[in-house]
Amino acid sequence: MTSRKTTTPGARFLALVFAAALAGCAAMPGAASKEDVVRARAAQRANAFAKADYAGAYALLTPSYRKARDLDAYRRALGSGAAWEKAEVAAVACTEQRCTVGLKVSVKPLIAGRFNDTITVQFEETWLLEDGNWWLHQAL
């Protein structure tokens, strides 16, 4: 006696959807590299910071930092230094779970009239893969 397995139309449909989804993921030529993702997030954070949108910049800090310090503590730690005019991501280099981002930032110094009113500085940020996404590492 042979046994015959029966499948419902719903189960076949789900199997087809699952197979199509897997094929679609494998064939996605436009999937962003970690460097592209970090470049976009670093630019988003830098632009938020330049607009004095500290809540927007804070939202891109590591979840572990945000658990330790709230937005008000983050804002107080920034002080009242030079204001960012604009920022540009100059370079991104990544390993498996860590990226180094080179930023080029035009700042307005506290003393007006010096340095043609703005100066450009370059520095590096460290971005870490945490909870499945890339976040800016901020020292406590």
- Domains, the chain, in order of start with CATH, read 33-136 (3.10.450.50)
Q: How confident is the model at residue 69 (pLDDT cuts 50, 70, 90)?
A: very high
Question: Per-residue pLDDT for 16 more than 70?
Answer: no
Per-residue model confidence as pLDDT tens digits over 27-67: 345 678 999 999 999 999 999 989 989 999 999 999 999 99
**Greater confidence, 138 or 22?**
138
- Taking CA atoms, 117 is separated from 34, 47, 50, 80, 106, in Å, by 36, 20, 16, 17, 10
Average of per-residue pLDDT across 63-79: 92
Residue 112: predicted pLDDT: 67
